[in-house]
Amino acid sequence: MDIKQLKFLIALDETRHFGQAAARCHITQPTLSMRLRSLEEELQLPLVNRGQRFEGFTAPGERVLAWARTVLAAYDGLQAEAAACRGNLVGTLRLGVVPLSSFDPLALMQQLHKQHPSLRFELSALSSEQILEQLASNRLDLGVSYLERLDAERFDSLALDETRMGLLYDQRFFNFGEKPLSWEALIELPLGMLTSGMHFRQSIDHNFHSRGLTPQPLLQTDAVHQLLQAVHGGLCCAVMPLDSGLDALTEYLRLQPIEDAQTLARLGLIMRRSAPRSALAEACFALYQKSQLAP
C-alpha cells in the first residue's frame, strides 16, 4: 500500500467516475483500476462496486475511504510540518467559512501567499456545525464560525469583530436616503433571506421578533449568490453583514446601516487543539493574531 493508492481512492469518491478520477491523477484508467484492485487484494476486501461504470463503494469501502482521508491528511500535515521546520510553508490551507461572514479571508490569504508563494488555499462555505465537525476530523485546518457553545477543550479560537448588519439594495430600484434604517421600516420592503435554520437568518429573525415584527420574505434561498442576483435584479433587498464588502461588487449596490443590528453570537477564527495540528493553520492563526495586536 502507498499514498498514491489512497489518493486514487479519494479521487474516485470525489469524481464518481473512473475516467475522471484517472485524469485528475494524471494516469490512465487501466492503471487506476489495477492499482485499486491491488489495494483490494492487499486488504482482502472489495472496496468498489463495479459494473459498466462506477456504482459506488461497498460498506467496507466506505470505512476504508474514511481512513484514507485521515491518512492522507496526516501525510500532507507531515510534509507541511517538515517544511515549516525549514522555515517554509507548503501545501494547501483548508479554510471553512460560514455563509455571510463579515470576515474577509482574502486579506489573510494574500499576506500568507506573499510570505509563502508555494502555499495554496482551499476555501469552503459551510454551516457552523459542518465546520466544527470537519475541524475535529482534520478535514479543515481553520474555520470561521460562531463562538456560541464552542468547546474550548477541543478548539482554540480568536474572537473577530462584532458583526453589524446593513440593508443591501440596488440604487437603480430603491433609494433610502442617508440615515440608518429601522427594523420597522424594513418590514414594509420586499426582502430576500437565507432559509430558516441558518445562523445569520436566525439573527435577522431575532431582531424582528424582539420588536414584535414578523417578516414575510419575498424570496428565501440557501444560496448566497442567488440572493445577490435577486438584489442586483431589483427583485428584493437583503439584510447582510455591514462590513462584508458586498456593496463593492457593482457600482449600483449599496449597504445601508440598520439601527441596533448585530448577530446573536460573535464570529471567531477556530483551530483544533489536538494533534496532529496543521503547521499551516498555526501560521495563519499567529498571523491574524499579530495583525490584531498591531497599532
| Secondary structure of residue 270 in the 3-state scheme | strand
* Domain residue extents for the chain: 3-66, 89-161+266-293, 165-257
pLDDT score, position 293: 52
User: Parallel, antiparallel, or unpaired: how do β-strands 48-50 and 54-57 relate?
Assistant: antiparallel
> Do 167 and 258 meet the contact criterion of CB atoms below 8 Å apart?
yes
Whether 89-161+266-293 shares its CATH topology with 165-257 is answered yes
- Residue 292, pLDDT above cutoff 80: no
How far apart CA 120 and CA 93 sit, in angstroms, is 6
In which band, very low, low, confident or very high, does the pLDDT at 255 lie, cut at 50, 70 and 90?
A: very high
- Residue 265, pLDDT above cutoff 60: yes
pLDDT score, position 214: 93
pLDDT in tens, 217-233: 999 998 889 999 999 99
pLDDT in tens, 137-146: 778 889 999 8
| CATH number given to 3-66 | 1.10.10.10
How far apart CA 37 and CA 177 sit, in angstroms, is 67
pTM, entire model: 0.67
pLDDT score, position 295: 44
DSSP codes, 90-145: -EEEEEEE-TT-S--HHHHHHHHHHH-TTEEEEEEE--HHHHHHHHHTTS-SEEEE
Contacts of residue 52, defined as CB under 8 A and 6 or more positions apart, other chains included, come to none
Quick one: average pLDDT of 10-29?
Answer: 91
Quick one: average pLDDT of 184-209?
Answer: 91
CATH number for the 165-257 domain, one of 1.10.1060.10, 3.20.20.70, 3.40.190.290, 3.40.50.2300? 3.40.190.290
* Region label for 149, one of left (φ > 0), alpha (ψ between -120 and 50) or beta (otherwise): left
Angle at 43 between CA 63 and CA 49, to 5 degrees: 60
Closest CA to 95 of 78, 79, 107: 107
The more confidently predicted of residues 43 and 137 is 43
Closest CA to 242 of 180, 191, 186, 166: 166
- Residue 267, pLDDT above cutoff 80: yes
Mean pLDDT of the chain: 87
For the chain, give the percent of residues with pLDDT over 70: 97
Q: What is the CATH class of 89-161+266-293?
A: alpha beta
pLDDT score, position 5: 93
